[in-house]
Copies of this chain bind each other. A is one copy, B any other.
Amino acid sequence: MPLAPDQQDEIAAQRAARAETRRATVPALEDMLYRPLPVLDHGFIRVIDYMGDDGAIVQAARVSYGRGTRKVSEDAGLIRYLMRHHHTTPFEMCEIKYHVKLPIFIARQWIRHRTANVNEYSARYSILDREFYIPAPENLAAQSATNRQGRGAMLEGEEAARVLDILRADAARCHDHYLDLLNEDTSGAPRDPSRQGLARELARMNLTLNTYTQWYWKTDLHNLFHFLALRADAHAQYEIRAYAEVMLRTVETWVPLAYGAFRDYRLGAVTLSAPMRAALRRMLAGERVEQADSGLSKREWAEFLAAINGG
């Protein structure tokens, strides 16, 4: 994720500027502000702005006039209570804004989360850089034999090399042709004066889905937790999970009490269905329960065992 010198300068300038504020402020997150946190081969997450802190959750839950004479332990207790009982609106009172650079095929998964504000870099208006996601060898996986939307074993040797060759060559060729179709050099002047150049809004269609795009993405803490619960999950595609894991670190830095509650009551929690509860009650009563007489399908039985034994 090497940034261009002018990008580095812009970030440094913004980090250098300070102002006094009466707003809730989180020094640890201030320290992280604007810095690119690397993800995948060319992507990043940057925290651009935030509103609120753990105290703001408490203040909103109480609809109070000020921050009061809070003890950290009382705030933690209230926040854990709110999380446990799905009182979600106080968490909506904190807001965070990220700048994200990510491959287009991941952007297409991400955008499915509708309760967020998005400004994407426009390829109707601007020209996309020559940057593509090429998986690291350890992330080059075969199709799973058991899960139609999952990954199986790592690809190795010649097959892995061939995959990487194809991905690299196709992305590069498509981007070369994209610039050729545009007929513009970096200054915007025509490369070949005898050609008009294809409109940007059309030329972009020649790019491959691993081309990087970027956007500003802003959401509230409740919806961020929902995003992270789905995207930091083991069932999520590795590439989006890589972003979710970096974002988890930013949330832990920002609102440590809410993050702790989220970890205990969401990330580390499991849901037991009504049939699973029936099986569990029998087990706790000392009965030996097998899948065949549990009322659970094989798949649910495996999920059940993972829920009560794993974690």
Contact = CB atoms under 8 A, between A and B. Distances in A.
A124 interface: yes
A311 B274 contact: yes
Contacts of A273: 84, 264-265, 268-269
Contacts of A49: 23-24, 51-52, 56
A43 interface: no
Contacts of A159: 195-196
Interface residues of A, number: 139
B205 A207 contact: no
Contacts of A195: 159
A71 interface: no
Given A23-B21, A105-B204, A207-B208, A271 B274 contact: no
Contacts of A140: 198, 202
A42 interface: no
A265 B271 contact: yes
A187 interface: no
Nearest to A115: B114
Interface majority SS (helix, strand, loop, mixed), chain A: mixed
A91 to B, nearest CB: 9
A11 B7 CA distance: 41
Interface in A1-53: 3, 6-7, 9-11, 13-15, 17-25, 27, 30, 33-34, 48-52
A201 B30 contact: no
Interface string A182-209: 1010000000000111111110111111
Contact of A20 (B7, B25, B153): B25
20 contacts: A10-B64, A17-B22, A18-B22, A19-B21, A19-B25, A20-B21, A21-B25, A24-B49, A48-B59, A49-B51, A84-B300, A89-B117, A114-B115, A125-B149, A159-B196, A163-B198, A205-B208, A209-B209, A267-B274, A270-B272
